[in-house]
Amino acid sequence: MMFSNIRKCETDINVILDEPLTSDSCTKLIIEFIKYVLYQKQQIPFTYDSLVHLQAKTKKSDRNSLFIKTLLNSLTNVSDHLSSELLFKDCKVKEIVIIVGPTIVSPKLQITLELPTQILDSLCHTKCKHSSQKPLLNLMRSMMECKEFQDAMTLPLGPTNTFFLLQKSDNNSLSNFFLPKPNYIPSIQTSQSFRIKLLHNNQLDIDCNCTNLVKVYRELANTNFKDDSIMQCKEQSNEQIVQAPFRWYQSREVIKGFKYVR
């Protein structure tokens, strides 16, 4: 009974998606969400876009320049490696945990992103057909409608660390970026814990003509892609892959919050 009472600290937020996510659009969605959390929790002094513009005008000798450059590089690394994880057909990512706090076992804020069971391969689907814009709007709307989440975002928090962990089934256990964390158990001790569930609409139709569009694009671009690659897109969903058990992995990148020094 004690465990049940503690578990109630985690607030569920359901996000209904009107269209399927691809590995690219899912990555974009997650990274934009991370930027939002970093700014709202005062881990970065300005919005991400403002920091990009500021970095372009800041002298290298300015001590703010190093902080901004480190942040931009860290988010780029997380984005690139997360995109690869979602793209690998032998890898299935179940959920991603964002932890803001001194350590992963002492979170001040913990947010779990529960991914859809099916994420489309970006190599077989076009960005124009599967943009991240609508899913991102659905996510933001659901967050705005959750009073508990908005209250958590407005609570002041000094500069600290932001960690990224993911739970995945991966036949390739070796990774240079997401490192195995076999003993990790998500904390249930923090009062600021949220589980955001990215759910497909029951009426969602994942069939599309992207495979044909990709083929036409490659032919027009005079690329050397063979028809075999198109067939792989069609047959990918029919392949029987023996899944490895789900395990926890932690990103090498840890974002350190900072304030702007005038």
- pLDDT for 211 equals 55
d(CA 64, CA 56): 12
- pLDDT for 239 equals 55
The structural domains of the chain, ordered by start, are 11-203+246-256 (3.30.900.20)
- pLDDT for 62 equals 87
3 state SS of 195 = strand
pLDDT averaged per 10 residues, the chain (length 262): 49 92 92 98 97 90 92 97 88 95 94 91 61 85 96 95 95 83 86 92 64 50 49 53 85 96 84
List beta partners, residue 112. Answer: 97, 195
Helix H or strand E segment including 193:
strand 193-200
The distance between the two most distant Cα atoms of the chain, rounded to a whole number of Å, is 64
d(CA 18, CA 202): 9
Task: Give the DSSP letter of residue 238.
Answer: G
Q: Please, are residues 59 and 51 in contact by the beta-carbon 8 Å criterion?
A: no
Instruction: Provide DSSP, 91-119.
Output: EEEEEEEEEESSSTTS-SEEEEEEPPS--
